[in-house]
Amino acid sequence: MKTLWNQYEQAHAPGVASDPWRLRYHLMPPVGWLNDPNGLCEKDGVTHIFYQYSPLEPAGGQKGWGHYTTTDWKAFESRPIELVPDSPLDKDGVYSGSAFVKDDTIHFFYTGNIKEEGDFDYIYEGRGHYVNTFTSGDGLTFSEKRNVLKNEDYPHDLSCHVRDPKIFEENGVYYMVLGARTRNDVGQILVYRSDDLAQWSFHGRLESDAPFGYMWECPDLFELDGQKILMTCPQGVEQDGYRFENVYQNGYFLVDGALDEHTALSSFAEFDHGFDFYAPQTYLDTRGRRILIGWMGIPDAEYSNPTVANGWQHALTLPRTLWLENGRLYQFPIEEVLDLKRTEWSQKLQAGETVDVGTPCFHATLTPLTDSFHVRLREDCEIEYANGLLTFSLKQSGYGRDARHVEVGRIETLDVFSDTSSVEIFVNGGQYALTSRIYDNMELNKIVSDGPMELVVRAMDAYRVG
């Protein structure tokens, strides 16, 4: 299977690369389908970015892990596919997982998906959802896969949906968080503990005060400025006004207290309000930055991506650095992304004036000079702001994506990172974010506003991918 996947990738990547929708400074699958970022880590100066990968099927199929490496976030190496569902431990998918670097070894933990033959709905029975592990010294060659947890190791009230392990170390103890769904359809996190990363025992659960969705996927537990934060992607949360507008959510809880006491979770805060954001994962780089990458896509979306016809689908977001301000998570692309700027110019944009940016690949900073505004970017991407509410909308370029809303209070600045078929918008330097795919006429790279604004525009260079 490994050989087949690698050969298929090599044969079809050149054709896929000619698609005009291919992004220039985002990571995409060389061919086929991509979803969650996996196994993010830095070892010996090399950053490893793995991702859920289904090379043969742009609409999604069997999942293994694809792999990029970089040393500077500007040039990337696409590595051979090494992790495929070729073991009885993961025969129906090498599902999402993470990396934990200890001493000189990268310890990977992931979900092995196994479907028993039969007439199952695979929610409450018929599915093995194992936690497996393997290690690596260099991130390029990997040990044998080994099982650490099986269905019978989870509490008996759990359904067959327990997955996406992530490791957190505190006071010399290792904790593993796992996304879970109970048999009563309550989303929550299971916590396992270990003293040696090899033997794991059940430790407890992280739950919201009241049930919040039926399943929590892709948990990440980390500490930022002394505050523990639990990120996760709840499924089954009802829309509530302008909150929870997507089919599945992404966001975080603040975690109060050590993990060995009764652990309280704050209320849930949404993290990215765009159409295409899910399954973010973070890691700590050697400079001490908490860096996050998300999947620029969402499962079971109601809208489509025309790239499928060209043999590929989905991408990863820009890498973002995280910090806390007043108990809220802020995010902004890392400085290496800002360094991709090729040219920069600024001007005062008068009401009604149209500026042609000349490329769909730009980073624009807009500083509105009025209390409400309506600005149009590219062909039909619109941002409207009035009475504390930001509305982001796309017309035909959304391919079914209509409008998303965020109650933001005051807007000081908007930073827009535009690529051929994506936009990532950061409000007030990272207080709010909206990420979306967009498929418009790439010749129409206008910015036009109904009120005066200060504008700084930078044309962005492409990543080098080898």
Q: What residues are annotated to the active site?
A: 36
- How would DSSP label each residue in 92-125? T-EEEEEEEEETTEEEEEEEEEEE-SSS--SSSS
Residues in the chain: 466
- Taking alpha carbons only, the member of 318, 201, 210, 295 closest to residue 248 is 295
Q: Which of residues 9, 26, 30, 36 is near ligand FRU by CB under 6 A?
A: 36
**277 forms part of the interface with ligand FRU (CB under 6 A):** no
Cβ count near 264 (within 10 Å): 14
Closest CB 376 distance from ligand FRU, rounded Å: 32
Element (H, E) at 337: helix 335-338
Closest CB 248 distance from ligand FRU, rounded Å: 8
Query: Per CB under 6 A, which of residues 141..200 are in contact with ligand FRU?
Result: 163-164
Residue at 231: amino acid letter: M
Residue at 433: amino acid letter: A
Query: Per CB under 6 A, which of residues 97..126 are in contact with ligand FRU?
Result: 111
Mask for 280-299, x = binds ligand FRU (CB under 6 A)? -------------------x
- Taking alpha carbons only, the member of 311, 292, 236 closest to residue 424 is 292
Residue at 344: amino acid letter: E
Of the two residues 66 and 360, which places its CB atom closer to ligand FRU in the complex?
A: 66
Contact at 8 Å (CB) between 87 and 110? no
Of the two residues 30 and 430, which places its CB atom closer to ligand FRU in the complex?
A: 30
**96 forms part of the interface with ligand FRU (CB under 6 A):** yes
Closest CB 38 distance from ligand FRU, rounded Å: 9
Of the two residues 63 and 404, which places its CB atom closer to ligand FRU in the complex?
A: 63
Closest CB 441 distance from ligand FRU, rounded Å: 31
Q: Which of residues 176, 197, 218, 318 is near ligand FRU by CB under 6 A?
A: 218
Q: Which residues of 179-192 are buried (b: 16+ CB within 10 A; e: fewer)?
A: bbbbeeebbbbbbb
Of the two residues 95 and 277, which places its CB atom closer to ligand FRU in the complex?
A: 95
Of the two residues 178 and 364, which places its CB atom closer to ligand FRU in the complex?
A: 178
Q: What are the phi and psi torsion angles at 151 (to 5°)?
A: -50, -45
Contact at 8 Å (CB) between 191 and 259? yes
Of the two residues 162 and 423, which places its CB atom closer to ligand FRU in the complex?
A: 162
Q: Which of residues 9, 82, 217, 415 is near ligand FRU by CB under 6 A?
A: 217
Dihedral, 158, 163, 165, 166 alpha carbons, nearest 10: -90
Q: Which of residues 47, 52, 246, 418 is near ligand FRU by CB under 6 A?
A: 52
**95 forms part of the interface with ligand FRU (CB under 6 A):** yes
**35 forms part of the interface with ligand FRU (CB under 6 A):** yes
Q: Which of residues 27, 84, 229, 279 is near ligand FRU by CB under 6 A?
A: 279
Closest CB 31 distance from ligand FRU, rounded Å: 17
- Taking alpha carbons only, the member of 20, 239, 220, 45 closest to residue 139 is 45
Of the two residues 130 and 330, which places its CB atom closer to ligand FRU in the complex?
A: 130
Query: Per CB under 6 A, which of residues 349..388 are in contact with ligand FRU?
Result: none
Rg (CA), the chain: 22
Q: How buried is 326 (Cβ within 10 angstroms: 0-12 exposed, 13-18 middle, 19+ buried)?
A: exposed
Closest CB 186 distance from ligand FRU, rounded Å: 17
> Judged by CB under 6 A, how many residues of this single chain contact ligand FRU?
14
- Taking alpha carbons only, the member of 86, 95, 82, 101 closest to residue 141 is 82
Closest CB 461 distance from ligand FRU, rounded Å: 30
Q: Put the strands of the sheet holding 173-182 in their side by side order.
A: 158-170, 173-182, 187-194, 201-206
**438 forms part of the interface with ligand FRU (CB under 6 A):** no
Cβ count near 68 (within 10 Å): 20
Binding region for ligand FRU (CB under 6 A): 35-36, 52, 63, 95-96, 111, 163-164, 217-218, 278-279, 299
